[in-house]
Amino acid sequence: MITKISKKFFILTLLLSIMLLTSCAKSLWLGNKLSDKATKQQQEQVKQEVMQLLEKEYNQPFKLLNYKYEYKKHYDLGGNCHYCDVVKYGTYYFKIQALDNPIIVMNFRIDDINKSSTNELLEDFKNKKLSTEYCVTLSKIYMYQKQKTVDQSNLERAKKYCNNRDQNGYKDWENLSLST
């Protein structure tokens, strides 16, 4: 004998559970879109403009070794229910070599999260990554202990270049590698 109140409570609980589960399943299956998928034209524009920005910023030529764009689901592990925190956005992957100093091979990505336009995406790259990518790559040579395997004259040139830009974060890694 189920009373009317407990029957209503059961139905309400069941409906609420179904709503929560379908919401989570929808999010897991589709993902919450944070940006639209870039068109081929937009992808090409980002690729060309990133190369131009690098050449202008560092006053030297660069060679694009690898480029890829992916639009996919990402799992946001920062949430309480990480299975429900699924988001979709595009990511541009770059591997670019400095022609004047071939030991500098920059590997970076640009995430298209909440960018309303290609121009906004490129502006964000200019403001947050552009000025430091070259010298971050020099730091990685020391970080991964490759300093003995690269051409030493190119290594010295890169150090001098980064010192002139007042970006000497690589020195911490250099000192650490000397102490080991």
Distance of CA 120 to the CA centre of its chain: 15
Note the pTM of the prediction, 2 decimals: 0.76
The answer as to whether 155 is a domain residue is yes
The answer as to whether 173 is a domain residue is yes
Domain count, the chain: 1
Percent of the chain with pLDDT over 70: 80
Domain interval for residue 42: 32-179
The answer as to whether 14 is a domain residue is no
Structure confidence by residue, pLDDT tens digits, 132-154: 999 999 999 988 888 889 999 99
The answer as to whether 123 is a domain residue is yes
The answer as to whether 19 is a domain residue is no
Q: Kindly tell me if the per-residue pLDDT of 9 is higher than 70.
A: yes
The answer as to whether 22 is a domain residue is no
The answer as to whether 21 is a domain residue is no
In angstroms, the Cα distances linking 179 to 55, 71, 156, 172 are 35, 43, 19, 11
Report how far apart the first and last C-alpha atoms of the chain are (Å, whole number). 76
The answer as to whether 59 is a domain residue is yes
pLDDT at 82: 47
